[in-house]
Structures are given as structure tokens and as C-alpha cells.
Amino acid sequence: MSARQNFYRAHERAILGAVMVLLFLVAWEGLERGWWAALLRPWLGPAAERWQLKPIFISSPTLVAQAAFRMFFVTGEIWRDLGWSGLGYVVGLALAITVGIPLGLAAGWYRRLSYAVAPFLSALNATPQVAFLPLIVVWVGTGLGTRVLIIFLLAVLPIAINAHAAVRTTDPRLVRVAASFSAGDWRLFRTIVLPSSLPFLLAGLRLAIGRGMIGVVVGEIYGSASGIGAMISQAGSRFQTDKVFVGVLTIVAAGVILVEIVQHIERRVDVWRPPA
């Protein structure tokens, strides 16, 4: 086997992935610049024009990159939207954590409380929570409150449900041992239930981060003047496709970074655990 084949075998994943992404980007760029139309013209004649699309329709990788550079570094217009969206996101997510974790832990710890809240949680969980948006607008108007509430509503369920499941899956042997050494309820909770719940809580948080991002966008398409979601929807209605892509990519980047941070914490937290 030649050295070149060996190299390919070792890096097949990266090579195939990169080639496909590159092909995709080139195909996209060509669709906007008319490369494919020019290429096909000898065979198709005038019908080849269908292979060139207007920039307002699909934009192109270079146009998106240009728009991103302009919005981030030249005009800096996106920073204000980012700040505005970030504020609602942080407040909504913080609210979801402060309500969801205690509620979920308590429901997991007290059986009767879990019976009481279960119907509400499962009903809310089956509902697309964004359907409450028109109600929230009636209640608190279209300001920061709406966005905070919709982000809260979307994010609180995965957090509470995971916290509940976390307590339920605590190793019963550990609890029984501690109880037979007459550990009090609080002590049991603090030294056994809480540490073993932590991975679940963080997993719930990871889910909630993604849900919250949906909340940012949905909360802002509904009568908000600023924020990333509002920017996306305004750009969309003005056919500024490149700006839409920049907004979408910004949200993706924010989500990926947040999830990375949580995963980092997850690994740190898991260090003390003995290998299974």
C-alpha cells in the first residue's frame, strides 16, 4: 500500500467531509455567479439560464461573508442586535434554571408533588409552547417581557423534566446505605442525590440552550424592533438574503459556543467519578 493510500485511510473522515462541504459551497457560489449556466449553455441553449439564480434568492458564500464582515466590523450594526437578544436570552434562561431545577428536584424527591405537577408538565411538554406567544403578547406587550417569557417557557421544560428524572434515577442502594446510617433528608439530598443528578441537570441545560435559541427568534419575529431574530425577519422581508444567512449563522455560532461551554463543565464535573 502506498503512502498516499495510507494517508487517505487515516484521514478519510476529514477528507471526505471537507470535500463535500467544499463541493457544496462551490455549487452554491456557481449557482449565483452563473458558472453552471455558462457551462450548460452549449447543450441547453437559452434553457441554461435556469441554472443561474438571483442573489436575492439564494445569495452566495462570498456575499454572505462580505455581509458578515460589513455587519460585524464596518457598520457594527449587528452588535446592538446581539446585545438586545443576548439580554432577553440570559434573563429567560436564568429564570428557567431558577424555576426548573428546584421544581424538578422537588418533584423527583416528593412523590406526591410529582403526582400534582405531572399533568401540567406533560401537557405543556406536548404543546408547541410557541403557541402561547399571542397570549403572552396580550399579557405583557411586545417588549423585553415577551421574549423573556417565551424563552423561559421553551427552556424550563427540558430543565425541569431532566431534574425530575435525575432524582428518580439516583442509585437506591446508595440512598438506603446512607439512610441506614441515619443520614437526614437534607444530608441525603446534598451528598447523594444532588451530585448524582448533576450530569442530568447539565444535559437538561444543554437541551434548554437550543430551545432558548428558538425562543429568541420566535419571540422577536412577533413585533420586536431589534434583536437578531427581528433583524433576520426584517432582512427576509426586504429580500436581503445575505443578511438573513449572517443572522442564522450568528445564532448557530452562539448556540454552539454555549453548548461547548456546558460540555466543558460536564467533563470537569465528571472528573471525580470513578470509571465505571
Partner 1 sequence: MAISRDFKQEDPPRHARLARLWLDHERALIGGGTLAAFLLLWQAFGESGLIDPLFISSPTRVLRAGNGLIHDRDFWNDLHVSGSEFILGYGAAVAVAIPLGLAIGLSKRLQYTLGPFVDTLNAVPRVTLLPLIIIWFGIGIWSKVVVVFLGAVIPILINTQSGVKTSEARFIRVARSFSASRFKIFSSIVLPGTVPFIFTGLKYGAGRALLGVVVGELYASTAGLGHMIADAGNTFQTDVVFFGVLIFMATGLVVVALLDRFEREFEKWRPDVR
SS3 call for 227 = coil
d(CA 51, CA 123): 48
- Cα Rg, the chain, nearest whole Å: 25
Nearest to 165 by CA among 96, 110, 107: 107
- 68, 166, 217, 246: which one contacts partner 1 (CB under 8 A)? 217
Asked if 17 interacts with partner 1 (CB under 8 A), we say yes
Asked if 271 interacts with partner 1 (CB under 8 A), we say no
Asked if 247 interacts with partner 1 (CB under 8 A), we say yes
- 213, 224, 227, 246: which one contacts partner 1 (CB under 8 A)? 213
d(CA 133, CA 47): 46
We find the least distance from the C-beta atom of residue 146 to partner 1, in angstroms, to be 11
Give the other-Cβ count within 10 Å of 52's Cβ: 16
Candidate ranges 15-23, 27-35, 41-49, 174-182; the one touching partner 1 (CB under 8 A) = 15-23
- 96, 103, 244, 246: which one contacts partner 1 (CB under 8 A)? 244
Asked if 141 interacts with partner 1 (CB under 8 A), we say no
Nearer to partner 1, 117 or 174 (CB): 117
Amino acid at 167: V
- 20, 26, 47, 90: which one contacts partner 1 (CB under 8 A)? 20
d(CA 105, CA 41): 66
Asked if 120 interacts with partner 1 (CB under 8 A), we say yes
Nearest to 178 by CA among 201, 161, 194: 194
DSSP H/E element including 194:
helix 194-221
How many angstroms separate the most distant Cα atoms in the chain?
87
Q: Locate cell 445564532: which residue?
A: 251
- 25, 44, 135, 177: which one contacts partner 1 (CB under 8 A)? 135
- Which positions touch partner 1 (CB under 8 A)? 12-13, 16-17, 19-21, 24, 56-57, 112, 115-120, 122-123, 125-128, 130-135, 137-139, 210, 213-214, 217-218, 221-222, 229, 232-233, 235-237, 239, 241, 244-245, 247-248, 251-252, 255-256
